[in-house]
Amino acid sequence: MQDDDNLRVNPSSNKPICSQMATKISRRQALKITAAGVAATQLPVQGQTKNDVDSFLPFNEIPTGQSSDIKLAEGFKYKNLISFGDPLKEGMTAYDPKKLTGKEQQNRLGGACDYTHFFEDPKDPNKGILCLNNESPEWGEHPNKKERELAAYYSVGCSVISVKRNDKGNWQPDLKSPLNKKIHPATKAKITGPAAGSDRLKSTASPDGIQSAGTLGNCAGGFTPWGTYLTAEENIQNYFTGDVKKHPEKENMKRFGMRGKNHYFKTIDKRFDLDSDAQSPLHFGWVVEIDPYNPDAPIRKHSMLGRGKHECATVTIDKDGHAVVYTSDDQYFEYLYKFVSTKKYIEGNREHNMDLLESGTLYAAKFEENGKVNWLPLVFNEGKLDAKHGFKSQGDVLLDTRKAADLVGATPMDRPEDISINAKTGKVYFLMTGNRARSVKRLNSANKVARGSGHIIEMSADHHSTTADWNFLVICGQDLADNKHATFNKETSLSGRFVYPDNGEFDQNGELWICSDGYGFPGFSDGLWHCQVDGQRGLSRRFATAPTGAEFTGPCFTKNGKELFLAVQHPKSHKGGSFPDFTSMKARSSIVVISKA
């Protein structure tokens, strides 16, 4: 994902407990890695045995080499489904970057495609709804600057697209569907949970602190058993203009990394001008629930899940019937969280289940050296979460979630990004994208490499408990050539190694697939890997390589395991033709469908 999460804003120094020597990758190492990757052996992945659905296994690993197009393992193909600027409504013309206005973009696919989820039609497997995040602005080429800015403004948020198979069996957008919708910064929204109605959320645009609007900075997300889509607001800090130092929420703004630099959003919407609407920033930074089957319903921002730079929101139902949501806060030295609902999930009762994320308990994770993780409750008037430390209510605790996690002693992590649950085992996998700011003095039990390039933590399936067991699946080390700290399976090739693990997805056979966020990392090309969680544990193989400049995001398998929806974010333009059009048109973020050839 595009971000500036490398900025350190957490002032706490919870539990430094171990030390190691840091090393740097040299130019010679980078060249060696590139050469080795290009010459990677074409070994098939054995993986686990296929079960009740199709699998992409086995496949021959591909080398690291990158081009303007997607590179896939032999025997696989992709088709482009939809790209930035393509129509969501019937009767609209094909995308023309020079004619893209703000009004047009409100009914076209958003930009910077990220997390995706496919809601398959239970009555017809040839139909469904694809929801996806549009993380940051993507630009057209309208000759009028104001129209370019308006179109970019409406390009962020989320897109909801009905899809169906055509006569050739390929997925395509169903432009006749009334469910198609572009959700953007001005879409009607509502704040729920303990922070709703807080004086801190009352603003010019929201006098009651409940009615709200819009979503942006949408990174990864999740989905619920009752058929709704969760989108996680992450990098929202860059869109607000004004003097942060004089802001009534300056402590919160500073902790969130807000700098108040001039941004064109303020010329479109006064909510993004801190001098006009000071409290509006607190309306962003939430996990947002979207009902794809009801386009007229306001999107809901769930304060009960805490405010932060959320990367994801991964849902399961514990053995007692409570909804559990695991979330991450994607910045250096921030935390992992777990929410447990007060009410229990009722199968088939959608109306009841729609309220599950509005009340419950939010916890922050503390990882111990003994292989245990303790989930620490963030509850007003418990421990230091009281008036003496600046909290007047549970709403305050949730508005200042990072501060609350500091005070209870949670473990500062190496940029927590995606969280994946293996449906076969119930185990939880936390993806850390790395922390180049972590020094030897700040190492801890769950983040053991100074200047690390990422790792994956595996946790037991104790969703119902405030304790669980944990260990490492893979530690990436400091760079691709790091054999001192890295813990990939010894059979992993250099092409099979990844850095900055970003998105994780389990297929229906319990096989883990990983996307990376390492564009610009020396000797590395972003891609998609299969990584074994059993058997040859930690054996990682490169399945696909993203186009130059791009990263893959939001992998989502169909229920039968035959196809994979995958986002291609921020591809680079090439004079000879750019992804996905390969014409004179500039490169566009897109959603592709991968299948066996």
Confidence of residue 5 (pLDDT cuts 50, 70, 90): low
The answer to whether position 257 is within a domain reads no
The pLDDT assigned to 485 comes to: 97
Say if residue 580 is preceded by a cis peptide, omega within 30 of 0. yes
The pLDDT assigned to 541 comes to: 98
The answer to whether position 60 is within a domain reads yes
Q: Is the pLDDT of residue 22 over 50?
A: no
Q: Which amino acid is at 302?
A: H
In degrees to the nearest 10, what's the CA dihedral of 255, 260, 265, 266? 120
The pLDDT assigned to 53 comes to: 80
Q: Could you tell me the residue range of the domain that residue 586 belongs to?
A: 27-236+284-596
The answer to whether position 45 is within a domain reads yes
Pairing of strands 455-459, 360-367: unpaired
The pLDDT assigned to 4 comes to: 56
Q: Is the pLDDT of residue 47 over 70?
A: no
Q: Is the pLDDT of residue 20 over 90?
A: no
Per-residue tokens: 165: 């198979």
- The DSSP code for 88 is S
Q: How many CB atoms lie within 10 A of CB 557?
A: 24
562 near 169, Cβ under 8 Å? no
Phi, psi (degrees; rounded to nearest 5) at 152: -65, -40
Q: Is the pLDDT of residue 233 over 70?
A: yes
- What is the tally of structural domains in the chain? 1
- Report, as an integer, the average pLDDT of 317-339: 98
135 near 417, Cβ under 8 Å? no
Kindly provide the b/e burial profile for residues 177-216, where b requires at least 16 CB atoms within 10 angstroms of the residue's own CB: beebbbbbbbbebbbbbbbbbbebbebebbeebbbbbbbb
The answer to whether position 20 is within a domain reads no
Confidence of residue 48 (pLDDT cuts 50, 70, 90): very low
Instruction: Name, in order, each residue with C-beta under 8 angstroms of 579's C-beta and a sequence gap of 6 or more.
Output: 68, 69, 70, 547, 550, 568, 571, 587, 588, 590
The pLDDT assigned to 122 comes to: 94
192 near 300, Cβ under 8 Å? yes
The answer to whether position 48 is within a domain reads yes
Q: Tell how far CA 373 is from the center of its chain.
A: 23
Q: Is the pLDDT of residue 12 over 70?
A: no
Q: Is the pLDDT of residue 10 over 80?
A: no
526 near 71, Cβ under 8 Å? no
Continuous segment of H or E residues that includes residue 360:
strand 360-367
The SS3 of residue 471 is strand
Confidence of residue 519 (pLDDT cuts 50, 70, 90): confident
Share of the chain above pLDDT 70, in %: 91
Instruction: Name, in order, each residue with C-beta under 8 angstroms of 49's C-beta and a sequence gap of 6 or more.
Output: none
Continuous segment of H or E residues that includes residue 113:
strand 113-120
Q: For 52-73, what is each residue's pLDDT tens digit?
A: 688 999 999 999 999 999 999 9
Q: Is the pLDDT of residue 350 over 70?
A: yes
Instruction: Name, in order, each residue with C-beta under 8 angstroms of 575's C-beta and a sequence gap of 6 or more.
Output: none
- Report, as an integer, the average pLDDT of 446-450: 98
Distance CA(143)–CA(139), nearest Å, equals 12
- Report, as an integer, the average pLDDT of 229-255: 95
The answer to whether position 78 is within a domain reads yes
The answer to whether position 205 is within a domain reads yes
Q: For 357-405, what is each residue's pLDDT tens digit?
A: 999 999 999 999 999 999 999 999 999 999 999 999 999 999 999 999 9
Q: For 457-513, what is each residue's pLDDT tens digit?
A: 999 999 999 999 999 999 999 999 999 999 999 999 999 999 999 999 999 999 999
The answer to whether position 275 is within a domain reads no
Average pLDDT, the chain: 92
545 near 529, Cβ under 8 Å? no
The pLDDT assigned to 404 comes to: 98
Q: For 118-151, what is each residue's pLDDT tens digit?
A: 999 999 999 999 999 999 999 999 999 999 999 9
The SS3 of residue 388 is helix
Q: Closest Cα partner for 403 from 335, 330, 478, 482?
A: 335
Share of the chain above pLDDT 90, in %: 90
Q: Is the pLDDT of residue 17 over 60?
A: no
Q: For 84-109, what is each residue's pLDDT tens digit?
A: 999 999 999 999 999 999 999 999 99
Q: For 165-203, what is each residue's pLDDT tens digit?
A: 999 999 999 999 999 999 999 999 999 999 999 999 999
